[in-house]
Amino acid sequence: MGDAGKRIVVLGSGPGGYVAAIRAAQRGADVTVVEKGLVGGVCLNRGCIPTKTLIAGVDVLTKARSGDIYGFTVTGEVTPNWAYMQARKEEVVTQLRNGIHTLFKKSKVKLISGNARLSEPGVVMVDTVSTDAAVSQDAHALESIPRHEAAPAQKAGAAANIADVLRLEADAVIVATGSDPLHPAFFDFSQPSIIDSTELLNIESIPSSLLILGGGPIGCEFACLFADLGTKVTIVELMPQLLPQEDARAAKQFQSALRKSGVEVLVRTRLERVDEYAPDHVTVALEDGRTLTAEKMLIGVGRQPNTAGIGLEAVGVAMDERGYVIVNEHLETSVPGIYAIGDVTGGYLQAHVASHEGIVAVDNILGGRRERNLRFVPICLYGRPEIARIGLTEDEARDEGFRPVTGTFRFGALGRALALGESRGYVQLVVDHDSDKLLGAVMMGPHVTDVIHEVAVALEAGMSARRLGEIMHAHPTISEAVMEAAQDVYGESVHVAG
């Protein structure tokens, strides 16, 4: 059998799984995707897209409330319509989800709704679900299963939502089952006051108060969102700063911005116990003796891989102590023919990393020998303000033996930022003193989650800071700050005083 005719089964249809499936189909492979929930995975249905849609709505709300800055007056109080915001969020998600179904159909990717488990290398058993609305929208979902040598193995009449058990034989399996919010046993998640990020996204009404445990990206984005909606927000973080993985300067400025927006920020703070669970509130005690009460408490202390119950142990796939699948740089697991991509492998829990790994895994299944490239991964926070970084920070560069120098341009001197009324921010480039090579960047301010990709291209191209500073940039744009920061490395930015 040639590589183009290989049978590939993908477990999961998130940003790693669906991209891998479509790429494999484009290359001529015979592809089946097994999805137990909604197509698109966490990112589309319960993560990236829903949160950014709500944040976009709140951005408009915030600007309307600040109309005097832009020269207009809003008559009456500007208030959020949460039900409509939720409806718009669902419209956006549904449109994108339907788009994936259309891409599957066009690419002849077969989709099965059900729970998959590996019974042996190259064999996937699927308890098919007969009531998945997402699959029922697509007539192609089950129509071509015989091509994948799938046949009903038995009837599972004991479970009302199980139609058949199918056996899929594959030349390669890609595990792309993603991750879910971590539920520490310390908390009783059966209580209505204790929620995770998925539940908060779909909450019926805006809470009057919200206690957030965990100052990582998820906690900080929700803090910005609900503070702007009028919720009294408190965020508790054990480490010395919010966003512990971020550049210290950016984290400090973001923390200051949160406080200015009314968020109570408690760092170096440990939660000792839960004193009271109630239908309408939760009360917790901190290690220093203080108590906090809130209507809802978001537990945002991490994520856990979806590796349980899919047969990985049974076929000998190696995992670490936390349950993440161990892979090499080719995305191969310890079992030949089984690959794993995205959150399920740990490391960067980013949708774009999963998509990149999905393409690399498919290339390798179809005869390549390609390594994933995680040298320059854009990391973005969609708060107020936005933060974006890539490559090495100044401290990381020093730790790796470089002699770093930096160039910085602040948005207070940036025409586009001033026109937008958002002059809080900067771009900092990190450069190797000896070679003049660009090493990384940290940005804060409006639209930096888009601008960061200019630096991504420069890093991949091995560009020097001087060359980056010589490239003409349109005026007025936020991207000009990258050029100015590159020039500032040599003290040559004409818009930096002294």
Separation of alpha carbons 299 and 317, rounded Å: 30
Q: Check: CB of residue 171 under 8 Å from CB of residue 122.
A: yes
Pairing of strands 172-175, 338-340: parallel
Separation of alpha carbons 454 and 497, rounded Å: 25
C-alpha 436, offset from chain centre: 32
Burial class (CB in 10 A: 0-12, 13-18, 19+), 91: exposed
Separation of alpha carbons 479 and 263, rounded Å: 30
Q: For 448-457, b where at least 16 C-beta lie within 10 A, e where not — what string?
A: bbebbebbbe
How many distinct helices (H) and strands (E) make up the chain? Answer: 16, 23
Q: Which helix (H) or strand (E) holds 8?
A: strand 7-11
In the chain, the largest separation of any two C-alpha atoms, in whole Å, equals 78
User: Residue 124 pairs with which residues in a beta bridge?
Assistant: 118, 168
Amino acid at 451: V
* 281 is annotated as an active-site residue: no
Closest listed residue to residue 206, CA positions, set 90, 84, 75: 84
Neighbour tally for 115: CB within 10 Å: 17
Q: Among residues 281, 453, 475, 495, which one is catalytic? A: 475
- For 153-167, give the DSSP string: EEE-TTSTTEEEEEE
Q: Secondary structure of 407-460 in the HEC alphabet?
A: EEEEHHHCHHHHHHCCCCCEEEEEEECCCCEEEEEEEECCCHHHHHHHHHHHHH
Contacts with 218 (C-beta within 8 Å, 6 or more apart), sequence order = 197, 300
Closest listed residue to residue 434, CA positions, set 461, 464, 460, 454: 464
- For 30-79, give the DSSP string: EEEEEESS-TTHHHHHHSHHHHHHHHHHHHHHHHHHTHHHHT----S---
User: Residue 35 pairs with which residues in a beta bridge?
Assistant: 113
Handedness of CA 262, 263, 267, 269 (dihedral sign): positive
Contacts with 344 (C-beta within 8 Å, 6 or more apart), sequence order = 12, 175, 176, 177, 178, 179, 305, 306, 307, 324, 325
Amino acid at 208: S
Q: Which residues are catalytic?
A: 475
